[in-house]
Amino acid sequence: MSVPGDLQYTRTHEWVRREGDTATVGITDHAQDELGDVVFVELPEEGATFGAGDAFGTIESVKAVSDLYAPVGGEVVEVNSALDDVPEKVNEDPYGDGWIVRLRVSGEGDLLSAAEYEKVLEEEE
Amino acid sequence: MASEALRRTPLYEEHKALGARLVDFAGWEMPVQYEGIKAEHEAVRTRVGLFDVSHMGEVVFRGPQAREAVQRLVTRDVSRLTVGQAGYAAVCYESGGTVDDVLVYRTQDDFLVVVNASNREKDVEHFKENTGDLDVEVVDESDQWALLALQGPEAAALLQTFTETDLSSIKYYRYEVGEVEGAYAVISRTGYTGEDGFELFVRSDDAPNLWRRLIEAGAAPVGLGARDTLRLEAGMCLYGNELDAETTPLEAGIGFAVHLDKESEFIGQRALRREQEEGLRKRLVGFKVEGRGIARHDYPVTVDGETVGSVTSGTLSPTLNEAIGLALVAPGVEDRFEVAIRSRTVPARAVPLPFYKRERK
């Protein structure tokens, strides 16, 4: 499973890319593989505000429903509405076109480095 | 449940070798998917897929009163089954609630009843408890048998290359005893996918070789994930979802397997007759979600904010690419209702079943 070194992670298998006060959020390669074929992503409204650790949406595969948790606190400034039509982008490109939301960061969360996240995955094995 | 405690089918090593994702299903370590649910679903709809359903139970009724025993236990009139024929039936409690849904095979001397893995122990106990006065032996032969399902438009052509039995002579819900790839097999033209296909009962020891040969010949391995989406598109019930002890077969829409007029009495017959006369307390409907979202098991069905039923099964249909589902609803509910999908209420519309029907040649 790919775990890019330049991203930060959560124990609930989201990733974060920080650029200034903006954070792009998605789910990890491991998470998309565990879910299987993603068929629906329930995105939040732009302008909604979430605290770090809050559920901000859901993601569904054919078989299962999972909550999405905000890795950091902030306001939703953009959602990946392309996922409405092609949710499988989450499977195909979880760290790229399969991103889910962008937040304007207003609160820090308990984030893991790539190395720490890899350890979490090993422990789950 | 600890993984050590899980039961494994004779094909467990095959699943591991194919890289299947294994899950606990009714106490069995079973493959939920190999390549992916959508790809496996499509393989069955357009080509041919192979399922390991060896976790299902095989219970044999043997002895002079085998027929009386089965007649008493199931809703179908099994005296109408000819040797070589199989019939779908429900097993009921006196209340009319459902113990299990089963396939009954009539053989020359015996009856074979194929039961759900999740109900096997409960069923055997129920069968024995209710036939103690009859001269019949109820034998759980599940551990001796593996069950492979080969399903899809190309199933017959592929299987024909492995057997001398003329498959074109086996009609739907009929079976023949023969050899497949040199192994003793009961070849049954049945399935749980809405496609043409076969279920093959073979000895456990023969299963791995047959499995490998069918895969080599082009059958796609298919897990329980796609098995569920396929049966749901075909409008078929799953015990634990559409059927349970609180739901009668009439309510679950499988009245075609209930012969209320059969001469010998069956357990639950009086309750089902009464329900038939007085009207169903709930009924199964197929529906499509008209808004965004996917209905799932146990989500409430509402009309004007009032709960009038609940979703029994729901998924995104891989064939139709629409959110479909089955629900048990109160009798007065019309064709329009809503499904509470977590925090939202989404409109849904009742549609005729099945959602998917194959084109017959």
Residue pLDDT, tens place only, B99-111: 999 999 999 989 9
Identify whether the C-beta of residue B180 lies closer than 8 Å to the C-beta of residue B132.
no
As for how many domains chain A has, the answer is 1
Residue A125 — pLDDT band, cuts 50, 70, 90?
Answer: confident
Mean per-residue pLDDT for A111-115? 97
CB < 8 Å to A42, chain B: 292-293
Alpha carbon A17 to chain centroid, angstroms: 10
Question: What average pLDDT does the structure give for chain B?
Answer: 96
Residue B4 has pLDDT above 70, yes or no: no
| Cα distances (angstroms) measured from residue B311 to each of B32, B172, B242, B294, B333 | 22, 30, 9, 11, 14
Inter-chain residue contact B316 with A58, CB threshold 8 Å: no
Q: Which of B132, B113, B100 is nearest to B60 (CA)?
A: B113
Under an 8 Å CB criterion, which residues of B touch A?
A: 21, 32-33, 36-38, 225, 228-229, 292-294, 296, 315-316, 318, 342
Mean per-residue pLDDT for B121-144? 98
Residue B81 — pLDDT band, cuts 50, 70, 90?
Answer: very high
Mean per-residue pLDDT for B315-335? 96
Identify whether the C-beta of residue A17 lies closer than 8 Å to the C-beta of residue A7.
yes
Question: A109: domain CATH number?
Answer: 2.40.50.100
Inter-chain residue contact A36 with B225, CB threshold 8 Å: yes
Sheet strands side by side (includes B49-52): B175-180, B183-188, B197-203, B145-151, B49-52, B220-221
Q: What CATH superfamily is the domain B282-351? A: Aminomethyltransferase beta-barrel domains (2.40.30.110)
Q: How far apart are CA B220 and CA A61, in angstroms?
A: 21
Write out the residue range of the structural domain in which residue A13 sits: 8-114
> Would you say residue A2 lies in a domain?
no
Residue B1 — pLDDT band, cuts 50, 70, 90?
Answer: very low
Mean per-residue pLDDT for B169-177? 98
Q: Provide CATH 2.40.30.110 ranges for chain B.
A: 282-351
* Token pair recorded at residue B48: 């041919």
Give the pLDDT of residue B194: 97
Report the percentage of chain A scoring pLDDT > 90.
95
Q: How far apart are CA B361 and CA B358, in angstroms?
A: 9
Inter-chain residue contact A40 with B315, CB threshold 8 Å: no
Q: Which amino acid is at B35?
A: E
Inter-chain residue contact A63 with B36, CB threshold 8 Å: no
What is the value of ipTM here, to two decimals? Answer: 0.84
Q: Which of B119, B125, B71, B77 is nearest to B98 (CA)?
A: B119
* Token pair recorded at residue A54: 């809050």
| Cα distances (angstroms) measured from residue B290 to each of B99, B286, B333 | 34, 13, 17
> Would you say residue A27 lies in a domain?
yes
Q: What does the pLDDT look like over B23-51, one tens digit per residue?
A: 999 999 999 999 999 999 999 999 999 99
Q: Provide CATH 3.30.1360.120 ranges for chain B.
A: 3-53+143-233
For chains A and B, count residue pairs whose Cβ atoms are closer than 8 Å.
Answer: 35
Q: Which of A86, A55, A92 is nearest to A70 (CA)?
A: A55
Q: Which amino acid is at B104?
A: V
Mean per-residue pLDDT for A6-16? 97
- Residue B303 burial class via C-beta count within 10 angstroms: exposed 0-12, middle 13-18, buried 19 and up: middle
Question: What average pLDDT does the structure give for chain A?
Answer: 96
Residue B2 has pLDDT above 70, yes or no: no
- Residue B305 burial class via C-beta count within 10 angstroms: exposed 0-12, middle 13-18, buried 19 and up: exposed
> Would you say residue A123 lies in a domain?
no
Residue A39 — pLDDT band, cuts 50, 70, 90?
Answer: very high
Residue A8 has pLDDT above 60, yes or no: yes
Identify whether the C-beta of residue A108 lies closer than 8 Å to the C-beta of residue A52.
yes
Give the pLDDT of residue A9: 98
* Better pLDDT: B254 or A125: B254
Q: How far apart are CA B110 and CA A99, in angstroms?
A: 59
Q: What does the pLDDT look like over B178-192, one tens digit per residue?
A: 999 999 999 999 999
Q: Facing residues of B198 across strands?
A: B150
Inter-chain residue contact B294 with A63, CB threshold 8 Å: no
Q: How far apart are CA B79 and CA B259, in angstroms?
A: 11
Contacts of B246 (CB under 8 A, 6+ apart): B97
B21 φ/ψ sector (left φ>0, alpha ψ -120 to 50, else beta) = beta
Mean per-residue pLDDT for B326-333? 96
Under an 8 Å CB criterion, which residues of A touch B?
A: 36-37, 39-40, 42, 58, 60-63, 65, 84
Which residue, chain included where needed, has tokens 């974060």? A16
CB < 8 Å to A57, chain B: none
Q: What CATH superfamily is the domain B3-53+143-233? A: Probable tRNA modification gtpase trme; domain 1 (3.30.1360.120)
Q: How far apart are CA A111 and CA B203, in angstroms?
A: 53
CA of B316, closest CA in chain A: separation in Å? 6
Q: DSSP character for A82?
A: G
Query: In this structure, is the dihedral angle defined by the CA atoms of residues B272, B273, B274 and B277, taken in order, positive or negative?
Result: positive
Identify whether the C-beta of residue A65 lies closer than 8 Å to the C-beta of residue A13.
no
Q: Which of A25-29, A59-63, A97-101, B43-47 is the least confident region?
A: A59-63
> Would you say residue A48 lies in a domain?
yes
Output b/e per residue, A49-88; b: 16+ Cβ within 10 A: bbebbbebbbbbbbbeebebbbbbbbebeebbeebeeebe
